[in-house]
Amino acid sequence: MSSSSTTTTTTRLLMLKASDGVTFEVEEAVATKLGAINNMVEEEGSEDLICLPNVNGKFLGMVLEWCKKHANNNTNSDKGNDEVNKWWDKEFVMDLDQNTLYHLLMAADYLSGTELVDLLTEKVASMIRGKKVEEIRETFKIKSDFLPGQEEEIRKKNSWAFE
Amino acid sequence: MSGPEREGKKFPPKNMSQISLPEMNKINEDLGSRNVIHRSKKRRKISNVVMVKNDNTPPPLDLISRLPDDVLCSIISRLSMRDAVSTSILSKRWRHLWRMSLENLDFDEDCNKFEGLDDNAFVNNVNKILAQLHCGTTIQSFQLQRRLRPPQKYGREIYKWIQIVADKKIQKLDINLSETYPELEDDIRKKLYQFPYWLFSNQDKGSKLKHLTLRSYTFNLPPKCSHFSSLTFLTLKCVPLTQANLMNILSNCLSLQWLSLVVCYCSRRLKFTSRLCSSLKLKHLNIEECKKLEMVDIRDLENLISFEFYGHMSIELLCNARAPVTRVYYERHYPLDNEFLYANHDLQLARDFPQLETLLYTSPRMRANHMPTSLPMFANLNHLALILYTLSSEKTYSLLEPMVAFLKASPLLHKLELHGNRREVELVEYLVKRTASLGKIQLDRKCLAYEGDGSPIERNRPIAVGRGSPWTLVVSSIKLHSWATANLWLKVGFAYSKVYLF
């Protein structure tokens, strides 16, 4: 996208190939925000083309978008930027539908993007907080598969949490 | 019910960067001004992602339950104890997850629905939850807030809990066993629980414990004890503290940066020093309403940045003018009929803390005749916050004269806060006339007080109104402001960028 590349001349570019063949050309500093890629790059004689058969192009694109934002802002680490990053993150997760959220989480987890996993799990947690069990089930379409009476038994065990 | 304040991660708690004065400006979360993220509208077929059907439309599927265990655990670890436990009946997939992911255990009787339980039921619940936690998991924090008495009856249970959480490499422990500050008379002190510090021993290194808050406990470390080598924040409330205790704490807790002593029952003289030659790392010290105290010696605290003191007028303070203290909270209480003595103490602030930049100063009855017309210079003071409180029956006095003494002594001041409403009209008038550049006057009907250790509290009681009601004040200050912009001159020679009046 339009983000200007850093002025350093020695920027290494990596090609990331998603499961559906879509490739992304990204700066090393951006891609190494992801622990898995960082490990691959640090290996000696690593190639510039990295295949990621477990991640779909759409979600890889979003993950990399997040990486780009956070890699850029790492270089000048003042407090104002921290705030901007927080806002950006908040908007990044604001309107995610559950399908996207799920795939992003899977991708971020697979690529060991720890900070991104934190951001997304916090988003999911915020969808759970303060809700009753029935509401959580409704939100995430979770079906209870307990045997009759089993649920009641578990409820009883920690009854204070369900009152 | 489940207000947002009890939600979310309470960890990590306050750190040094949060030692600041009550900042009133909330960040305005203007979402619209930010970049809009461009997302590709094009849908691609999901091919290789684990276990998902290749539908074009998002199916009404339970996707969340398909996330790997570690991701679900990370989600649950962010929930309050109550929310985490309630995930156990979502479905079989979720049943046991909370047991390995619960990180913050909060047995505060106010939240988590424990308030209706009697002591035995409460204790049973804590036992049950601790027993359900997977062995081998670590926890971040354990908070126990409950008056469990007598110690003979519950001592063994609490001991067991501490043992369990110590084994789980706990980082933050907060135990409060009384809801009120007891009068720490000798016989009651004997009945206090004893903190089992020995449970935190670890063969290789000290424990991971970083934060420890104890209330109504005794905390007596032996002269040599390496269990608390990671301890950074220590708050003791209603804890008996002798000089020897203090020395042992400071000599053993080598990472200690934050120490707060609230209503502790102290030796007459407390010297903050260590047996070791290395200098103490302590950066923040709060001494609040400690009993029996007559002298406080902080001359050895060479790295102290923030000092808070609230105590009787007679307590002697021995300070080190070379310590880099830039922030002070200061309040002394005086008997009602003894109003003329305290200016002397306050005069010492400038001498004791020459590097002072931020002063939070509470005075019950600030009057002209308490302040000499000239104070020693606060050469570096740039932020002064005055918290004034009046009994509504009490006569109010003009702030002008005592304030002017402060202002004249603070050439670099650029932010002034007044909390509590008094006869400020004269003061505003004065400020406006004598100030080179008045950036902002903010008025607020909130009455703010200070709780100590960096946290402001809002008082709910109605504020004591002085001669002018707050609304009059707004009008006068605006009028004065526009009038004064033409007449700006500084006889005193200080420049304000902001004036806050609360």
DSSP annotation string for B259-275: EEEES-EE-SEEE---S
Query: CA–CA separation, B221 vs B393, rounded Å?
Result: 48
Sequence-separated (6 or more) residues with CB below 8 Å from residue B286? B259, B260, B261, B262, B307, B308, B309, B329, B452, B453
> How does DSSP assign B459-473, residue by residue?
E-SPPPP-SS-HHHH
Please, what is the average pLDDT of chain A? 86
- pLDDT at residue A78, rounded to an integer: 60
Q: Are B287 and B309 in contact (CB under 8 A)?
A: yes
- pLDDT at residue B456, rounded to an integer: 55
Nearest chain A Cα distance for residue B13, angstroms: 17
Cross-chain Cβ contact B43/A133 below 8 Å? no
Nearest chain A Cα distance for residue B324, angstroms: 24
Cα–Cα distances (Å) from B293 to A50, A85, B152, B262, B300, in that order, read 68, 48, 30, 12, 18
Cross-chain Cβ contact B89/A1 below 8 Å? no
Q: B178-325 — its CATH code? A: 3.80.10
Query: CA–CA separation, B144 vs B108, rounded Å?
Result: 6
Query: CA–CA separation, B209 vs B290, rounded Å?
Result: 25
Confidence of residue B343 (pLDDT cuts 50, 70, 90): low
pLDDT reading at B446 higher than 70: no
Instruction: Return the axis-axis angle of helices B425-434 and B400-408, rounded to nearest 10°.
Output: 30
Residue B112 corresponds to which tokens in the numbers above? Answer: 């988590």
Chain A residue at shortest CA distance from B81: A161
Q: How many CB atoms lie within 10 A of CB B40?
A: 12
- pLDDT at residue B34, rounded to an integer: 28
**At residue B353, what is the residue type?**
F
Closest residue by Cα to residue B431 from B404, B465, B397, B471:
B404
Is residue B306 helix, strand or coil?
Answer: strand
- pLDDT tens digits, B372-408: 666 788 889 888 877 765 544 455 556 666 677 777 7
Cross-chain Cβ contact A99/B58 below 8 Å? yes
**Model pTM above 0.80:** no
Residue B151 corresponds to which tokens in the numbers above? Answer: 């110690």
- pLDDT at residue A162, rounded to an integer: 81
B295-297: strand order across its sheet: B269-271, B295-297, B316-318
Nearest chain B Cα distance for residue A43, angstroms: 26
Query: CA–CA separation, B291 vs B181, rounded Å?
Result: 12
Q: Which residues of B touch A88 (CB under 8 A)?
A: 34-35
Sequence-separated (6 or more) residues with CB below 8 Å from residue B198? B227
Q: Which residues of A touch B113 (CB under 8 A)?
A: 160-161, 163
Q: Are B135 and B100 in contact (CB under 8 A)?
A: no
Cross-chain Cβ contact A161/B67 below 8 Å? no
pLDDT reading at B471 higher than 50: no
pLDDT reading at B12 higher than 60: no
**At residue A121, what is the residue type?**
T
- pLDDT tens digits, A69-85: 888 655 555 666 778 88
Q: Which residues of A touch B34 (CB under 8 A)?
A: 84, 87-88, 91
- pLDDT at residue B444, rounded to an integer: 53
Give percent of chain B above pLDDT 70: 58
Rg (CA), chain A: 20
Nearest chain B Cα distance for residue A38, angstroms: 21
Which H helix or E strand runs over B359?
strand B358-363
Cα A8 from chain centroid? Answer: 28
Cross-chain Cβ contact B91/A19 below 8 Å? no
Chain B residue at shortest CA distance from A100: B58
pLDDT reading at B209 higher than 70: yes
CATH 3.80.10 in chain B, residues?
A: 178-325
- pLDDT at residue A121, rounded to an integer: 96
Query: CA–CA separation, A99 vs B214, rounded Å?
Result: 46
Q: Which domains does chain A have, with CATH numbers?
A: 13-142 (3.30.710.10)
Query: CA–CA separation, B298 vs B322, rounded Å?
Result: 11
Cross-chain Cβ contact B66/A118 below 8 Å? no
Closest residue by Cα to residue A87 from B269, B431, B34, B446:
B34
Chain A residue at shortest CA distance from B75: A121
- pLDDT at residue B211, rounded to an integer: 96
Residue by residue, what is the 3-state secondary structure of B372-390?
CCCCCCCCCCCEEEEEECC
Cross-chain Cβ contact B42/A58 below 8 Å? yes
Is residue B297 helix, strand or coil?
Answer: strand
Q: Which residues of B touch A61 (CB under 8 A)?
A: 40
Nearest chain B Cα distance for residue A28, angstroms: 22
Q: Of A20, A131, A137, which has the smallest distance from its Cβ to B44's Cβ? A: A20
Query: CA–CA separation, A109 vs B253, rounded Å?
Result: 38
Q: Does B60 touch chain A (CB under 8 A)?
A: yes
- pLDDT at residue B225, rounded to an integer: 86
Which H helix or E strand runs over A150?
helix A150-157
Q: Are B422 and B229 in contact (CB under 8 A)?
A: no
Q: Does B52 touch chain A (CB under 8 A)?
A: yes
Query: CA–CA separation, B319 vs B352, rounded Å?
Result: 6
Which H helix or E strand runs over B302?
none
Among A59, A69, A99, pick the best mutation site for testing chain B contact (most B Cβ within 10 A).
A99
Q: Which residues of A touch B90 (CB under 8 A)?
A: 133, 136-137, 142, 144
Q: How many CB atoms lie within 10 A of CB A148?
A: 6
Work out how many CB contacts closer than 8 A connect A with B: 158
Calculate mean pLDDT across residues A28-44.
Answer: 88
- pLDDT at residue A150, rounded to an integer: 92
Q: How many CB atoms lie within 10 A of CB B98?
A: 26
Q: Which residues of B touch A160 (CB under 8 A)?
A: 82, 112-114, 117, 125
Which H helix or E strand runs over B363?
strand B358-363
Q: Does B96 touch chain A (CB under 8 A)?
A: no
Cα–Cα distances (Å) from B290 to B181, B270, B294, B402, B404, in that order, read 12, 11, 10, 28, 32
Cross-chain Cβ contact B48/A122 below 8 Å? no
Among A98, A106, A127, A139, pick the best mutation site for testing chain B contact (most B Cβ within 10 A).
A106
Q: Which residues of A touch B88 (CB under 8 A)?
A: 154, 158
What does DSSP assign to residue B277? S
Q: How many CB atoms lie within 10 A of CB B308?
A: 21
- pLDDT at residue B501, rounded to an integer: 40
Cross-chain Cβ contact A161/B113 below 8 Å? yes
Cross-chain Cβ contact A140/B61 below 8 Å? no
Cross-chain Cβ contact B50/A157 below 8 Å? no
Please, what is the average pLDDT of chain B? 71
- pLDDT at residue A6, rounded to an integer: 46
Calculate mean pLDDT across residues A14-37.
Answer: 91
Chain B residue at shortest CA distance from A57: B44
Is residue B307 helix, strand or coil?
Answer: strand
More confidently predicted of B152 and B241: B241
Nearest chain B Cα distance for residue A39, angstroms: 20
Cross-chain Cβ contact A133/B90 below 8 Å? yes
Q: Of B38, B46, B60, which has the smallest distance from its Cβ to A141's Cβ? A: B60
Lowest average pLDDT, out of A111-125, B320-334, B352-366, B423-437, goes to B423-437
Cross-chain Cβ contact B79/A19 below 8 Å? no
Give the N- to C-terminal CA distance of chain B in Å, as an integer: 31
- pLDDT at residue A61, rounded to an integer: 94
Nearest chain B Cα distance for residue A47, angstroms: 23
Burial B12-34 (b: 16+ CB within 10 A, else e): eeeeeeebebbeeeeeeeeeeee
Q: Of A88, A105, A158, which has the smallest distance from its Cβ to B128's Cβ? A: A158
- pLDDT tens digits, B295-309: 999 999 999 999 999
Cross-chain Cβ contact B34/A128 below 8 Å? no
More confidently predicted of B31 and B7: B7
pLDDT reading at A5 higher than 50: no
Query: CA–CA separation, B84 vs B128, rounded Å?
Result: 15
- pLDDT tens digits, B29-78: 322 222 222 223 333 333 333 444 444 555 568 999 999 999 999 999 99
- pLDDT tens digits, A82-108: 788 888 899 999 889 999 999 999 999
Calculate mean pLDDT across residues B163-190.
Answer: 76
